[in-house]
């Protein structure tokens, strides 16, 4: 097994400690990791953080409890047939033909000492940031298939982060005044955003109440009047770069830019021009 390490900008050392291929660890989970005897901080996957570079790395597992014997749950039921204590072998033999064993006896267990594994393999130090966590945008490396199965370092090779357009669509849907968000709407590549924009100053329109049979009544109310505004943004599906760290920087910059574009479309509509950007009333006089 190869142990990979990354020197974090904050001074910590991050180590990828794969689960040992040993009998004591095969059916048990790793309970802790230690760098020069000091507990390490658990990150995601098999990554652990140490305060600094370590000379010795080891992991430990806490084995399941060992059953020592079986004892009667009620001492008053002790008899020749059902003694107070049974060995594990005796209990296993008798439970095959006596269904009462499960109700009469309880297992007595003891904790086993932790099992440790010391990594004596050389440590390969990588240059770059740590791999993306499960809550971060993921990385698709542009590598031969065999190498893409190495999550320890594939984020250091060229590739892309998928799902950029989908991410921004979720951001837009949560923004105020946004009515609809579609991807590649009606054959137009990109993200289509539709908004209901109020006027400044506010404008209202009279809306009659509807009675039985769909007939308009004399009663009614003034309802706010809005302008339906749409934008089609050429947002790519993925963000590509030489490394994951570079792509993540581009991801954040582009996300901030496109979000600001949608925010700018939320400016209140002008009452003089009806939200169209030009005044039609009286324009005939100047068009002669």
Average the pLDDT over each of 20-24, 161-165, 250-254 and give the range with the smallest value: 20-24
Question: Does pLDDT of 281 surpass 60?
Answer: no
DSSP 185: G
Q: How far is CA 99 from CA 78, 79, 92, 106, 232, in A?
A: 17, 17, 12, 14, 72
Using alpha carbons, select from 3, 1, 4, 249 the residue that is nearest to residue 126.
Answer: 4
Is the pTM here over 0.85, yes or no? no
- Residue 276 tokens, joined: 């169209």
Task: Report the pLDDT value the prediction gives residue 286, as an integer from 0 to 100.
Answer: 39
Q: What percent of the chain has pLDDT over 70?
A: 85
Quick one: pLDDT band at residue 197, thresholds 50, 70, 90?
confident
Quick one: pLDDT band at residue 209, thresholds 50, 70, 90?
confident
Task: Report the pLDDT value the prediction gives residue 276, as an integer from 0 to 100.
Answer: 55
Quick one: pLDDT band at residue 287, thresholds 50, 70, 90?
very low
Dump pLDDT digits (tens) for 139-166: 776 655 545 556 666 666 678 889 999 9
Rounded mean pLDDT, 54-61: 89
HSE, side-chain direction, 13 A CA sphere, residue 281: 4
What is the rounded CA–CA span in Å between residue 13 and residue 252? 25
What average pLDDT does the chain have? 81
Q: What percent of the chain has pLDDT over 90?
A: 22
Task: Report the pLDDT value the prediction gives residue 98, as an integer from 0 to 100.
Answer: 85
- Residue 287 tokens, joined: 């068009």
Domain residue spans in the chain?
3-63+114-130, 66-110, 161-270
Dump pLDDT digits (tens) for 214-226: 788 777 787 777 7
Better pLDDT: 188 or 143: 188
What is the rounded CA–CA span in Å between residue 47 and residue 118? 16
Among 119-128, 148-157, 252-261, the range of highest mean pLDDT = 252-261
Question: Does pLDDT of 210 surpass 50?
Answer: yes
Average the pLDDT over each of 30-34, 114-118, 202-206, 234-238 and give the range with the smallest value: 202-206
Question: Does pLDDT of 83 surpass 80?
Answer: yes
Task: Report the pLDDT value the prediction gives residue 166, as an integer from 0 to 100.
Answer: 93
Task: Report the pLDDT value the prediction gives residue 257, as an integer from 0 to 100.
Answer: 94
Q: What is the dihedral of CA 68, 73, 77, 78, to 10 degrees?
A: 20
Exposed / middle / buried, residue 102 (Cβ in 10 Å: 0-12, 13-18, 19+): exposed
Question: Does pLDDT of 64 surpass 70?
Answer: yes
Quick one: pLDDT band at residue 122, thresholds 50, 70, 90?
confident
């Amino acid at each position: 097994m190869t142990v990979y390490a990354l020197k974090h900008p904050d001074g910590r050392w991050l180590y990828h400690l794969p689960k040992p291929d040993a009998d004591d660890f095969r059916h048990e989970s790793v309970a802790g990791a230690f760098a020069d005897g000091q507990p390490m901080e658990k990150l995601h996957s098999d990554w652990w953080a140490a305060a600094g570079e370590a000379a010795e790395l080891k992991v430990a597992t806490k084995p399941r409890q060992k059953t020592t014997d079986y004892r009667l749950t009620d001492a008053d039921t002790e008899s020749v047939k059902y003694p107070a204590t049974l060995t594990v072998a005796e209990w296993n033999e008798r439970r095959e033909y006596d269904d009462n064993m499960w109700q009469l006896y309880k297992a007595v267990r003891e904790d086993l000492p932790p099992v440790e594994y010391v990594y004596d393999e050389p440590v390969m130090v990588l240059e770059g940031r740590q791999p993306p966590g499960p809550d971060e945008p993921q990385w698709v490396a542009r590598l031969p298939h065999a190498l893409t199965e190495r999550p320890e370092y594939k984020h250091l090779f060229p590739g892309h982060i998928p799902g950029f357009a989908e991410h921004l669509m979720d951001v837009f849907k949560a923004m105020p005044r946004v009515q609809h968000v579609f991807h590649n709407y009606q054959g137009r590549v990109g993200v289509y955003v539709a908004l209901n924009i109020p006027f400044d100053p506010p404008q209202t329109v009279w809306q009659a109440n509807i009675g039985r049979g769909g007939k308009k009544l004399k009663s009614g109310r003034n309802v706010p009047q809005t302008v339906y505004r749409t934008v089609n943004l050429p947002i790519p599906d993925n963000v590509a770069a030489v490394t994951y760290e570079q792509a993540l920087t581009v991801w954040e910059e582009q996300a901030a830019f496109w979000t600001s574009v949608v925010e700018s479309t939320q400016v209140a509509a002008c009452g003089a021009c009806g939200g169209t950007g030009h005044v039609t009333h009286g324009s005939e006089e100047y068009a002669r």
